[in-house]
Amino acid sequence: MDVTISPGPVGGTVSAPPSKSYTHRAILAAGCGQRAVVADPLWSADTRATARAVEAFGGSIERRTDGALEIQGFDGGPTIPGDVIDCTNSGTTMRLVTAIAALADGTTVLTGDASLRSRPQGPLLDALSELGATARSTRGNGQAPLIVDGPMAGGTVSIPGDVSSQYVTALLFAGALTDAGVDLRLETELKSAPYVEVTRELLADFGVETRETTDGFAVEGGQSYRPADGTYAVPGDFSSISYLLAAGAVADGDVGGATAGTGEGTLEITGARPSAQGDSAIVEHVTEFGAPVEWDRDDGTLTIEPAPLSGIEVSVADTPDLLPTLAVLGAVADGETSIVDAEHVRYKETDRIDAMASELAKLGVETTEERDSLTVHGDESTLTGATVDGHGDHRIVMALAVAALVADGETTIRGAEHVDVSFPNFFDAFESLGVVIDRHE
């Protein structure tokens, strides 16, 4: 599907979608236990991949009319899947499920689409092998398809921390179900650290205790996954909130330049309650750009008005998913915006640094791309409507949709259907705020 977006203001109230990160973890945690209900989940392409994996390991999932998931788990003992587990485009699914596969007494094969088969899995495979399983890439390049033979016993293992925090998450999840537990030592500084805190927070809610050590993390073995009262409620997603917040900051009807914002419209976002999500930093970043944001943390409501923006320097070491949003804010802002500590952003669904640089260029935005950073020259840019490509990446699509709100003329985004990965009703939400969108094949 392609969409064509007309520039214009936004206003009104919109609800944040449930968190993709928490939903993945909640589905898998419930699968690792006996029985649990996951309330308010994000039911998207990625989270459905995790649900299918739980079923492949012997669990069952029923989606109720209210959207909640009733999950019968495999109670710490995954069975051998009857077929290859296809993780489609979900990196979180592949990494977490690869570790769970190492608990099964036999062989599991995992694959995904072309994008996922290009993403690095080698450090996790090496770690699982050190812990007693046998895990390898069929092509010998550390990338899927993967073959995992278990069961693993647990123990002490070292991994790099600067490739993906999901390796840590995967080992903590599986380590709780081993005999010996896992003592995980980091060889390098941990990137995307808040995602590990999301994992530890959720594991605690399911009754699984972890601890931070002087050089990493540890989890005792022999634990059980049991949420209090048998139910876990998923919080709102700040990665998705970032696009709504950015739209509220830039879209006031002024188009084409780096001076959007006159304070004419107000956007309210509900479902923004505090959690361990690192991407909640977007609230601070938007404020630093110059847009007024009010956050009622008790009520979970964000209120924002458009305003003139000025460029900033921001690190995405812990918040890689925010880079596309920050790049668009930088395109609208006056002056330069430098997004640094970003090399790991190149290993997502696509190389998001390169993708944002190339697509913003089509819209008239000047950027400077380095291996570890992206600088956006807002003062040298005039946003002009064009046809752009979403690169098969939900976050690129949604960020470009925000840019389209202040471009001079219509913007067509190809491959817009990929928002289904994390925010299936994204374009419905935009339309509810007054955005004019034409959807076409």
Give the pair of three-digit tokens for residue 19.
Answer: 């968190």
Residue 136 marked as a ligand binder: no
pLDDT digits (tens, 9 = 90+) for 31-78: 999 999 999 999 999 999 999 999 999 999 999 999 999 999 999 999
Domains 2-17+236-440 and 20-233 share a fold: yes
**Whether residue 151 has a cis bond before it, omega within 30° of 0:** yes
Residue 19 marked as a ligand binder: no
pLDDT digits (tens, 9 = 90+) for 77-115: 999 999 999 999 999 999 999 999 999 999 999 999 999
Q: What angle do CA 210, 22, 170 make, to 5 degrees?
A: 50
What is the distance between the alpha carbons of residues 89 and 280, in angstroms, rounded to a whole number? 24
CATH class of 2-17+236-440: alpha beta
Average pLDDT over residues 175-182: 98
Residue 21 marked as a ligand binder: yes
Q: What's the confidence (pLDDT) of residue 261?
A: 41
The yes-or-no verdict on residue 4 having pLDDT over 60 is yes
CB atoms within 10 A of CB 150: 25
Average pLDDT over residues 123-127: 97
**Selected residue with higher pLDDT from 410 and 252:** 410
Q: What's the confidence (pLDDT) of residue 298?
A: 92
Sheet holding 437-440, edge to edge: 387-389, 411-414, 2-5, 437-440
Phi, psi for residue 168 in degrees, rounded to 5: -65, -50
What is the distance between the alpha carbons of residues 272 and 14, in angstroms, rounded to a whole number? 11
- Which of 140-144, 160-164, 256-260 has the lowest average pLDDT? 256-260
Q: What's the confidence (pLDDT) of residue 347?
A: 86
Amino acid letter for position 246? A
Q: What's the confidence (pLDDT) of residue 258?
A: 45
Average pLDDT over residues 245-266: 68
Band the pLDDT of 286: cuts 50, 70, 90: very high
Sequential DSSP letters for 240-291: HHHHHHHHHHH-SS--SSS----S---EEEE-----S-GGGHHHHHHHHHT-
Residue 143 marked as a ligand binder: no
Q: Which of 126, 237, 254, 321 is catalytic?
A: 321
Q: What's the confidence (pLDDT) of residue 441?
A: 81
What is the distance between the alpha carbons of residues 99 and 346, in angstroms, rounded to a whole number? 23
Residue 348 marked as a ligand binder: yes
Residue 158 marked as a ligand binder: no
Active site residue 215: no
Residue 352 marked as a ligand binder: yes
Q: Hey, where are the domains in the chain?
A: 2-17+236-440, 20-233
CATH class of 20-233: alpha beta
Predicted model pTM:
0.83
The yes-or-no verdict on residue 257 having pLDDT over 60 is no
Residue 321 marked as a ligand binder: yes
What is the distance between the alpha carbons of residues 145 and 184, in angstroms, rounded to a whole number? 25
